[in-house]
């Protein structure tokens, strides 16, 4: 969800906290864990309260999980019709992102939370938990029923019982559907790139660079910090924490985040005007999929 915008973010942080308990095979759908899910709008740091106009058209993390939960519920029901009594899917919500949607606002303009910088450097504060691997998914018969294919060709029945077109996956696609965020995420990426070329952002980025230079860091823009301490799994070093702390403090003194946000907000408002009909159509289709997902999950 968060690719393309933000600094030194491990988009899918390694699951290394306590393992999730094994799901009960008798349950018809996946377990959903809700620990450390992101707020809809940042509640801390320099990005506190900020939301870009295009976020109104984006899918939230909770909505993504709801649709996947519905797909998993439908898949499990289908597979059990064909004798896979213990079928279940991956646990959901085990490694939540830092942001509620693809704008990645907490780190869209780089690291923005001073308290996180001082404790974690550029690393995510919540690494997530392990997900219990589901059984059976790689078994040959399971693949046949799930995909409606065997030995490279389509199959229409399993043990004398007719299969849905495309197997259980095909049935799920028709019953639940998927979320298509291509348009809004493309426009979000466009505004992000264009905003960096504005005179106001270039000027404030120069001020930030001079502030960082005064603290011993040779960086021209907020993305250059990656070159000094690339994000990897594990705890941050004292050097990374100092860099991250100086980064956020220089953003504070220069007002970089607010300037950048204001410039991108103006660009997004124009993009919405230029693409209003397409965006509204995409939002309508999204809402229809969410309504279907909600009904499926409620009937579980």
Residues whose CB is less than 8 angstroms from the CB of residue 78 and which lie 6 or more positions away in sequence, other chains included: 145, 164, 168, 171, 172
Residue 90 near residue 131, CB atoms below 8 Å: yes
236-244 — which CB contacts under 8 Å span 24+ positions? Answer: 236/120, 236/121, 236/122, 236/123, 237/121, 240/121, 240/122, 241/117, 241/118, 241/119, 241/120, 241/121, 243/121, 243/217, 244/111, 244/117, 244/118, 244/120, 244/121, 244/122
For residue 23, what pLDDT is reported?
A: 43
Secondary structure percentages of the chain, helix, strand, coil, to 5? 50, 5, 45
Question: Do 184 and 54 meet the contact criterion of CB atoms below 8 Å apart?
Answer: yes
Q: Which two tokens stand for residue 295?
A: 């009904």
Q: In 3-state terms, what secondary structure has residue 225? A: helix
Contact 127, 15 (CB under 8 A): yes
The residue count for the chain? 300
Q: What is the pLDDT of residue 229?
A: 77
Give the other-Cβ count within 10 Å of 24's Cβ: 9
Query: What string of DSSP letters covers 227-280?
Result: HHS---SSPPPHHHHHHHHHHHHHHHHHTHHHHHHHHHHHHHHHHHHHTHHHHH
Query: In terms of Cα–Cα distance, which of 76, 38, 73 is closest to 58?
Result: 38
| Residue 10: predicted pLDDT | 38
What pLDDT is recorded for position 27? 59
**Predicted structure pTM score:** 0.85
Residue numbers of the chain with a pLDDT score lower than 50? 1-4, 7-23
* pLDDT for the residue 138: 62
Check residue 256 and give its pLDDT: 98
List residues bridging with 32 in a β-sheet. Answer: 92
Which of 140, 149, 32 lies closest to 84, judged by CA? 140
**pLDDT confidence of residue 13:** 39
């Amino acid at each position: 969800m968060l690719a393309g915008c933000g600094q030194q973010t491990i988009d899918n942080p390694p699951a290394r906290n306590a393992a999730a308990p094994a799901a009960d095979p008798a349950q018809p759908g996946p377990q959903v864990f809700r620990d450390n899910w992101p707020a809809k709008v940042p509640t801390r740091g320099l990005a506190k309260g900020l939301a870009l106009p295009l976020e109104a058209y984006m899918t939230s993390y909770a909505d993504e999980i709801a649709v996947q939960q519905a797909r998993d519920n439908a898949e499990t029901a289908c597979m059990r019709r064909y004798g896979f009594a213990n079928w279940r899917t991956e646990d959901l919500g085990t490694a939540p992102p830092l942001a509620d949607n693809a704008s990645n606002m907490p780190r869209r303009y780089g690291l923005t939370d001073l308290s996180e910088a001082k404790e974690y450097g550029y690393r995510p504060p919540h690494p997530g938990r392990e997900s219990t691997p589901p059984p059976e998914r790689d078994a040959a018969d399971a693949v046949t029923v799930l995909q409606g294919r065997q030995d490279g060709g389509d199959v229409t029945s399993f043990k004398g019982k007719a299969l849905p077109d495309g197997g259980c996956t095909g049935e799920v696609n028709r019953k639940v559907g998927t979320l298509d965020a291509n348009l809004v995420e493309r426009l979000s990426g466009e505004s992000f790139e264009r905003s960096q070329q504005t005179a106001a952002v270039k000027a404030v980025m120069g001020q930030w660079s001079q502030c960082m230079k005064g603290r011993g860091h040779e960086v021209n823009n907020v993305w250059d910090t990656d070159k000094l301490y690339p994000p990897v799994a594990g705890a941050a070093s004292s050097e990374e924490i100092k860099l991250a702390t100086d980064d956020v403090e220089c953003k504070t003194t220069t007002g970089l985040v607010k300037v950048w946000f204001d410039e991108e907000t103006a660009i997004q408002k124009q993009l919405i005007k230029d693409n209003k009909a397409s965006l509204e159509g995409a939002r309508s289709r999204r809402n229809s999929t969410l309504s279907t997902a909600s009904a499926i999950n409620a009937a579980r």
